[in-house]
Amino acid sequence: MKHDTLTRAILIALTSAGIATTTPSIAHTPKEKNVEKCYGIVKTKMNDCGTPKHACASQAATDRDPNEWIYVLKGNCRRIAGGSLTPPDSSGS
């Protein structure tokens, strides 16, 4: 009886650990320090995180929305057509 309980507990723990490691983080911070947020270049449903319109990744409704962003390697955002390092609300306009 104790052996069955222990076996079940181990299986539940292993299953839970597997699910936790395969579930993507919604609002994540990149581990790399050589990245920056790039606004205005996102394809539909390919954004990295929230905006004033929503709070989750993969919620971009249209291509190239100026509020949507993704992480890119530092120095590359301004090289992409339409890329901006700041959202339209904080551009000083």
Is 60 inside a domain boundary?
yes
**pLDDT tier at 93, thresholds 50, 70, 90:** very low
- The answer to whether the pTM exceeds 0.75 is no
Report yes or no on 4 lying in a domain: no
Indicate the SS3 state at residue 40. Answer: coil
Note whether residue 19 is domain-resident: no
Whether 8 is covered by a domain: the verdict is: no
pLDDT of residue 67: 87
Q: What is the pLDDT of residues 19-60, one digit of tens each?
A: 444 444 444 567 778 999 999 999 888 788 877 777 788 778
pLDDT at site 18: 53
54 is a domain residue: yes
* Structural domain includes residue 21: no
Q: How many domains does the chain have?
A: 1
Asked if residue 12 belongs to a domain, the reply is no
Helix H or strand E segment including 18: helix 2-22
**Mean predicted lDDT score pLDDT of the chain:** 76
